[in-house]
Amino acid sequence: MAHLKRLVKLHFKRHYHKKFWKLGAVIFFFIIVLVLMQREVSVQYSKEESRMERNMKNKNKMLDLMLEAVNNIKDAMPKMQIGAPVRQNIDAGERPCLQGYYTAAELKPVLDRPPQDSNAPGASGKAFKTTNLSVEEQKEKERGEAKHCFNAFASDRISLHRDLGPDTRPPECIEQKFKRCPPLPTTSVIIVFHNEAWSTLLRTVHSVLYSSPAILLKEIILVDDASVDEYLHDKLDEYVKQFSIVKIVRQRERKGLITARLLGATVATAETLTFLDAHCECFYGWLEPLLARIAENYTAVVSPDIASIDLNTFEFNKPSPYGSNHNRGNFDWSLSFGWESLPDHEKQRRKDETYPIKTPTFAGGLFSISKEYFEYIGSYDEEMEIWGGENIEMSFRVWQCGGQLEIMPCSVVGHVFRSKSPHSFPKGTQVIARNQVRLAEVWMDEYKEIFYRRNTDAAKIVKQ
């Protein structure tokens, strides 16, 4: 029985061993085939992928060409809708000035002068004679003359708004045009006053407003040098509120013209400074020639042609249409200011009345100057006190610091010339001599000795 089991088992092994071997061979062969097929598929897939990538690139190129063609066709078609242009703003610092000349409309004054009564006192700049007065009127006139050293009685009865009649300047002045490029600079008008008469001060202010182009007049600065008259305090403050460009600054103690002008210059915001006295009237077109000259040469310090306003009748001495024999400023070895006729070479240099007059010195009460140049030359001498000598000092300063003093005949401003000053000197009249000593020591070098020989008071001061 056991032997039979062994025989059966052996037969089973022999019979199925051959079948298992054949099955294994088949399986092995099948696996090899699968591996080879997979490899072939992978290679074919890789080739197919590369081909697809190439096809995609070709398609993208074709799409770009089609879009470009469409855009070309679109641009070639007439446009029915016009789009807004793209505005490119120019930087303010690079903005070119306009060509041509200012028009009359552009140079329109700040205020229009109200209608005039031709029969009113002093109308059209005419004289107002105050004769045949009553006793009370005569006393009022005398009080005004004693206080202000001019006929305040007459001034108070002349309109603050009076005109000066027709423009009688030479034709070349009336017809003068001013270039827009370089543009005319703006100005701050600075008026210093100390116990000034109400009518002369405000007539000065109104005159500036009625005759100055609005685009050029930045402001009027009234500098009160410690006035004690009550009407120059609250009443004046209230009056000027009607003018947005008029401002008042005050010094609490009297320091004089020089310090007051420096205060005004400190608060000024315009490109140029224009100094006027508190008893002036501006003629037609007075401001433009001054500012045009500074636009040409910022080192030019320019004064108007000063016309006299009679201190008794307030008659305005108007310019002649035929021109006139002009004067220029000079000085002597006592350092006093004076006037002289123009020398022949200066007359020959000038072609017409629009040409400036070169002057060694100026009166100093009325002039325009670039604020930048004013600061460059050191402004006024702060050590000079109250009043006196500052005009000669400024004249020397300008000429020795690269500038030039000039008078512009087409610019006319009237001024009340008094025979004496109505103001006291807190430190005595010796202050004038001390101012002149400072002038001589700073600007005159060895020539100061000539001055000291002429002015013994100054010589004593310098030795102290």
To the nearest whole percent, how much of the chain has pLDDT over 70? Answer: 78
Tokens of 83: 């789009």
Map tokens 């060509």 to a residue: 99
Phi-psi region of 256 (alpha: psi -120 to 50; beta: other; left: phi over 0): left
Say what the pLDDT of residue 144 is.
95
Which amino acid, 205? V
With 0-12 CB in 10 A as exposed, 13-18 as middle and 19+ as buried, what is 338? Answer: exposed
Q: Which comes out higher in pLDDT, residue 69 or 233?
A: 233
- Using alpha carbons only, what angle is made at residue 383 by residues 378 and 384, rounded to the nearest 5 degrees? 95
- The pLDDT assigned to 381 comes to 82
Q: How much is the mean pLDDT over the chain? A: 85
Determine the pLDDT at residue 228: 95
Mean pLDDT of 219-234: 97
Q: What is the pLDDT of residue 71?
A: 56
Residue 461 exposed, middle or buried by CB count within 10 Å (0-12, 13-18, 19+):
middle
The pLDDT of residue 315 is 98
Give the lowest-confidence range in 28-32, 219-223, 411-415: 28-32
Q: Hey, what amino acid is at 369?
A: I
What domains are there in the chain, each with its CATH number? Answer: 123-416 (3.90.550.10), 430-463 (no CATH)
Q: Give the mean pLDDT of 299-327.
A: 94
Structure tokens at 374: 């004013």
Instruction: Determine the residue type at 419.
Output: S
CA separation for the pair 268, 372 (Å, rounded): 12
Q: Which of 41-55, 196-210, 361-375, 441-455 has the lowest mean pLDDT?
A: 41-55
Q: Can you tell me which residue has the tokens 């006027």? A: 276
Query: Collapsing DSSP states into helix, strand and coil, what is residue 287?
Result: helix
Rg over alpha carbons for the chain, rounded to the nearest Å, is 47
d(CA 395, CA 364): 8
* Model pLDDT for residues 127-184, shown as the tens digit of each residue: 999 999 999 999 999 999 999 999 999 999 999 999 999 999 999 999 999 999 999 9
Q: Average pLDDT for residues 1-11, to the nearest whole number?
A: 46
Three-point CA angle 100, 106, 111, nearest 5°: 160
Residue 45: the pLDDT is 44
Average confidence (pLDDT) over 233-254: 96
The rounded distance, in Å, linking the Cα atoms of 189 and 413 is 13
Token digits of residue 298 = 């910022």
Q: What is residue 271's DSSP assignment?
A: S
| Helices (H) then strands (E): counts for the chain | 14, 11
**HSE, side-chain direction, 13 A CA sphere, residue 60:** 6
Residue 212: how many other CB atoms lie within 10 Å: 25
Distance CA 450, CA 125 (A): 44
What local confidence, expressed as pLDDT, does residue 423 receive?
72
**Whole-prediction pTM:** 0.78
Q: Residue 344 burial (CB < 10 Å; 0-12/13-18/19+)?
A: exposed
| Both structure tokens of 286 | 């007075």
Q: Return all residues near 282 (Cβ < 8 A) that are at least 6 apart.
A: 207, 208, 210, 211, 212, 412, 413, 414
Q: Please enumerate in sequence order all residues whose Cβ is within 8 A of that of 203, keeping only pairs 6 or more positions apart, or say none.
A: 155, 158, 160, 162, 281
pLDDT tens digits, 415-426: 999 988 777 666
| Sequence-distant (≥ 6) Cβ neighbours of residue 5 within 8 angstroms | none
CA-to-CA separations, 335 to 22, 277, 332, in angstroms, rounded: 142, 22, 5
pLDDT per position as a tens digit, 357-405: 999 999 988 999 999 999 999 988 877 776 778 899 999 999 999 999 9
Higher pLDDT among residues 63 and 108, named by residue: 108
Helix (H) or strand (E) holding 461: helix 456-463
